[in-house]
Amino acid sequence: MSALPPAARWLPEKTFEGQVAVVTGGGTGRGLEVSRGLAALGATVVIASRSAEHHQPLLEEARARGWTCAARVLDVREPKLVRECAESVVTAHGKVDILVNNAAGNFVCPAERLSSNAWRAVLGIVLDGTFYCSQSFGKAMIARGAGQMLNVVATYAWTGMPGVVHSASAKAGVLAMTRSLAAEWARFGVRCNAIAPGPFHSQGAQQNLWPDADAERKLREKIPLGRFATAEEVAAQCLHLLSPASAYLTGECLVVDGGATLGSSMWAPGTRFTKKRGAESDAGFDAGESAAAG
Ligand code: COA
What is the full per-residue pLDDT of the chain (294 aa) written as tens digits? 668 999 999 999 999 999 999 999 999 999 999 999 999 999 999 999 999 999 999 999 999 999 999 999 999 999 999 999 999 999 999 999 999 999 999 999 999 999 999 999 999 999 999 999 999 999 999 999 999 999 999 999 999 999 999 999 999 999 999 999 999 999 999 999 999 998 887 777 777 777 788 888 888 888 999 999 999 999 999 999 999 999 999 999 999 999 999 866 666 656 676 666 665 555 444 444 433 333
What's the DSSP call for residue 128?
I
Ligand 1 mean position, distance from CA 227 (Å): 27
Cβ of 121 closer than 6 Å to ligand 1, yes or no, is yes
3: which residues sit within 8 A by CB, 6+ positions away? Answer: none
248 labelled catalytic? no
CATH 3.40.50.720 fits 6-262, yes or no: yes
What's the pLDDT at 291? 38
What's the pLDDT at 27? 97
CB 180 within 8 A of CB 134: no
Cβ of 115 closer than 6 Å to ligand 1, yes or no, is yes
Rg (alpha carbons) of the chain, rounded to whole number = 21
Task: Tell me which residue has its CA closest to atom 33 in ligand 1.
Answer: 121
CB 110 within 8 A of CB 161: no
Q: Which pTM does this prediction carry?
A: 0.90
CA distance readout (Å), 237 to 4, 48, 92, 105, 280: 16, 21, 29, 21, 48
Cβ of 59 closer than 6 Å to ligand 1, yes or no, is no
Q: Dihedrals φ, ψ of 256, to 5°?
A: -125, 75
Of 208, 216, 228, 234, best ligand 1 pocket probe by most atoms within 8 Å of the beta carbon = 208
Domains of the chain: which residue ranges?
Answer: 6-262, 264-294
Task: Tell me which residue has its CA closest to atom 31 in ligand 1.
Answer: 121
What's the pLDDT at 210? 79
Q: Considering 67, 132, 137, 156, which one is annotated as catalytic?
A: 156
Ligand 1 mean position, distance from CA 184 (Å): 33
